[in-house]
Amino acid sequence: MTAVQGTDVDIATADGVADAYLAHPADGLPHPGVLFYQDAFGIRPHLKAMADRLAGEGYTVLVPNVFYRHGRTPVFDLPEFIDPSADPTIWQQIMPVMMSLTPELTDRDSAAYLDWLAQSPLVADGPVAITGYCMGARLAMRTAAAFPDRVAAAGGFHGGRMVTEDADSPHLLAGRVTAELYFGFADQDQSMTEEQIRTFQEALDTAGVRNTCEIYRGADHGYTQADTPAYSAEASERHWEALLGLLKRTF
């Protein structure tokens, strides 16, 4: 692990300014870029620690506040340990904000995030990779589909609602993806059943997408998030092994 520097940055978008966290090796040299998509709880100490760990492996990691239209980080007033079952008002805060982030807004924002990475002297030339968590897995899939020439790999972990009845369901985007994909699903996740996982992988396979879809047995939705009850140390370390393997194959 190399020494890491973390800073807050602002990203100009078509609709305003998105605040973000940037983590990168402290050598000041350009490194492969990784766009890191948050879960619903947003940028907070745990997410920054994850970005720092990834940067320590030799990557420049950008974590945008995808809810920037609703305010700068922290968008929500959350406790250090986030347990929605103990405080249902947490989801009352978050759900309307999540629902307001439409696919159209996501694509517009992701263009700005990719432009920022392309222009940063801390990012090596060429396509970037993406990693996303919970809702961030859907964002990763959308961005890989919207910008196939700019995304070389994408990982999604404990992603839900990757297969829906909607016309904009993430699995329907498979034909536009050229990146290698890795998805680690939780078998205790009611937002992504094993039948939906099969449908998702079939869509990727049919489209000829290089992919690995795995089911983490005994894991809950949110298994990488150490500041929530869903956290599993074993599943989280498995995710790190998979993500770093994907990145090493890519760069």
How many residues are there in the chain?
251
**Distance separating alpha carbons of residues 41 and 89, to the nearest angstrom:** 13
Residue 16: CB atoms within 10 A of its CB come to 12
Which pLDDT value is given to residue 92?
A: 95
The structure's pTM equals 0.98
**Is-contact 153 186, C-beta < 8 A?**
no
Which pLDDT value is given to residue 202?
A: 98
**Distance separating alpha carbons of residues 78 and 228, to the nearest angstrom:** 11
Which pLDDT value is given to residue 1?
A: 77
For each of the chain's 251 residues, which pLDDT tens digit applies? Answer: 789 999 999 999 999 999 999 999 999 999 999 999 999 999 999 999 999 999 999 999 999 999 999 999 999 999 999 999 999 899 999 999 999 999 999 999 999 999 999 999 999 999 999 999 999 999 999 999 999 999 999 999 999 999 999 999 999 999 999 999 999 999 999 999 999 999 999 999 999 999 999 999 999 999 999 999 999 999 999 999 999 999 999 99
Q: Domains of the chain, with CATH numbers? A: 4-250 (3.40.50.1820)
| Residues known to be catalytic | 134, 189, 221
The contacts of residue 167 (CB under 8 Å, 6+ apart) are none
